[in-house]
Structure 1
Amino acid sequence: MKSLLWLVIIVYLVSAVMLSVFQRKMLYFPQPAMSMLGEKNSRFTVNGVTLSGWVINPGQPEALIYYGGNAEAIELTIPFFRFLTGFTRQMEWALPFPPLSERLTHVSVYLIPYRGYGDNPGHPTEQHLYRDAVALFDQIAPRHQSVSLMGRSLGSGVATYVAAARPVEHLVLVTPFDSIERVARDFYWMFPVSLLLKDKFASVARVEAITAPTTVIIAEHDQIISRARTDALITHFPLRQVAVFVIAGAEHNNLQLFPDYATAVISAFLSRT
């Protein structure tokens, strides 16, 4: 019995060490760039690295910067944002997009992968993503009359950081959480997550500094970010500042396949002007 107890303790300690050592490999899943939807057409040098990506509907008075999820190849959103901006109608027949009376024709959409993602150099960490995002914002903002932000999953943590530090027209949070630390606790409740975790993405701590009208989009059957984690973030916003859309039937990774998702994103802009 004593030897069994020691075995359990050893397995627990080894597991905790492995979780600590490899936590960033578990949090970030960089995807290589794919050119099948269009070659990169934009490049920015920030904090010693050059980040290249895509701009959809360039040259418009307003801008939208999109921050992707931890395993998202953000160029896969190119058809979606081309549709929203009316930049092209190609492929619409093959995609589940709804008929829209309004489109964001006046918005340029920036899809710039994080460092370490999409063949960009560097290694992602919370602080690197924050610093890069603010530096990108500062380069993009002078080109436009206003800038809005949209962050999905992990990207919602980046979006709230920038929205708390810079003037933002609209803020759209897709499958967001209150903090990665609390998300990790739900999965790894048996470990001292607070002590082990390096990158915590505590969006809930920044809500008071966010003044932009905010739209939260939730997947009804999200198996990654629980509804409790999203609701814990929403409750910190003033009621009049936040609008919430729940996409019926959607899961964390297929949200964009539901027509109501496009409608919710459009509504985030049209209902707050």
Structure 2
Amino acid sequence: MVVWIILGVFLLVGLPLLFYFPQRHYVFSPTYYPNRSWFREHTDRYRLHRLQVAPAVEIEGITYEPDQPVLTILYFGGKEQDSVGLVQKLSSEYPQVRWVAFNYRGYGESRGRPTEKNILADSLIAYGWTVRHYENVGLLGYSLGSSVASYVASRREPKWVILVAPFDSVRALVREKAFFVPELFIRYKFDTADFVEKITAPVFVYNSSDDEIVAPRHVARLRRHIHCLAAMKEFSGYGHDTLLFSASLKKELEKIVQGTPQCNINSEDLS
């Protein structure tokens, strides 16, 4: 009898606690791409920044400046991306776009330690810096960054928002993969569905049916909360890590860059 009681307590409390503490590593994976020297050798195009977001805490940023930028995109990266370092590739794929990115705390050369609270708070500061320096600013968020971009757009007024490989919430993803964990033990929310409900700018959503991290049903749930859905496309043949630089997505992003986004679809009319 005692053995069964101990086993029951472990299943109810011990097992969720074993999952509680490693969650940080599932949500955040600070990354650094060693290409800063390349940026410093090309100062005619790239400018590195330091932005103070808290006392004694600075985050790293970058701007790519083309000759005649058609617009400005503020990029928010995924959990395993160095957003600043990634601008080298983004600018080579879309050289007519002015790219701006800031790394989350602990990522790249940013100081501090990432948390949900400080990532969201810092994103508003990064957006504020961007619109003070540039006009015609759109947002692009990938994976974890799609939640961050949605948060910014829910509290500010960007030109539009592009969500690539988005999800409805981290909590929903965790509950699906670790069904034995009570909601009380899930440390992070990143509630994208709640954020997008407050967005008035046009929202573009792109995902893959073959995404091994975010199942299409999470994107379908997210869609129901979007009031100004400009476009939504589900591709196939791309994994979570390959969608961002896929040929299919590039065609869509080039249309957005050259076009005038507007709310074309009312999500309430979609089943």
Q: Deviations over 1:222-255 (max 9, x none)?
A: 01011111110012223x6331122320010111
Deviating more after overlay: 197-206 vs 255-264: 255-264
- Residue 110 of structure 1: SS of its match in structure 2? strand
Matched, 1:27 2:27: yes
1:102-151 superposed Cα distances (whole Å, 9 cap, x missing partner): xxx2x311121101111311111111011100011111101112211111
How do 1:223-238 and structure 2 match up within 5 A? 223-238=212-227
Instruction: Quote the sequence identity (%).
Output: 25
Matched residue SS, 2:39? coil
Give the AA of the match of 1:81: L
**Alignment partner, residue 233 of structure 2:** 245
Cα distance in structure 1, aligned partners of 2:11 and 2:52: 45
Sort the Cα spacing of 1:149 and 1:183 in 2 relative to 1 into closer, same or farther, 3 A. Answer: same
Return 5+ residue gaps in structure 1 as ranges.
Answer: 87-104
Establish whether residue 42 from structure 1 lines up as the match of residue 49 from structure 2. yes
Separation in 1, partners of 2:197, 2:12? 38
Give the Cα separation in 2 of the matches to 1:124 and 1:195: 21
TM-score normalized by the length of structure 2: 0.84
Distance in 1 of aligned mates of 2:34 and 2:70: 28
What residue in structure 1 maps to residue 145 of structure 2?
155
Higher relative contact order (CA 8 A, sep 6+): 1
Asked if structure 2 preserves the Cα contact closer than 8 Å seen for 1:68 and 1:151, the reply is yes
Residues 32 and 85 in structure 2, CA contact (< 8 A), matched pair in contact too: no
> How is 1:94-113 mapped onto 2 (pairs within 5 angstroms)?
105=96, 107-113=97-103
Instruction: Tell me how far apart the structure 1 counterparts of residues 7 and 225 of structure 2 sit (CA, whole Å).
Output: 44
Partners of 2:66 and 2:129 in 1: CA distance: 15
What number of residue pairs does the alignment pair up? 252
Post-superposition shift, 1:56? 1.8
| Alignment partner, residue 180 of structure 2 | 190
Compute the TM-score of the two structures, normalised by the length of structure 1: 0.83
Q: Specify whether residues 8 and 58 from structure 1 end up closer, same or farther in structure 2 by C-alpha distance, changes over 3 A only.
A: farther
Q: Residue 198 of structure 2 aligns to which amino acid in structure 1? A: A
1:45 partner amino acid = Q
2 CA distance for matches of 1:164 and 1:157? 10
Deviation at 1:18, TM superposition (A): 2.0
Q: Distance in 1 between the 2:132 and 2:84 partners?
A: 24
> 2:77 matched to which residue of 1?
68
Name the counterpart of 1:272: 260
Distance, in Å, in 1 between the alignment partners of 2:174 and 2:77 is 19
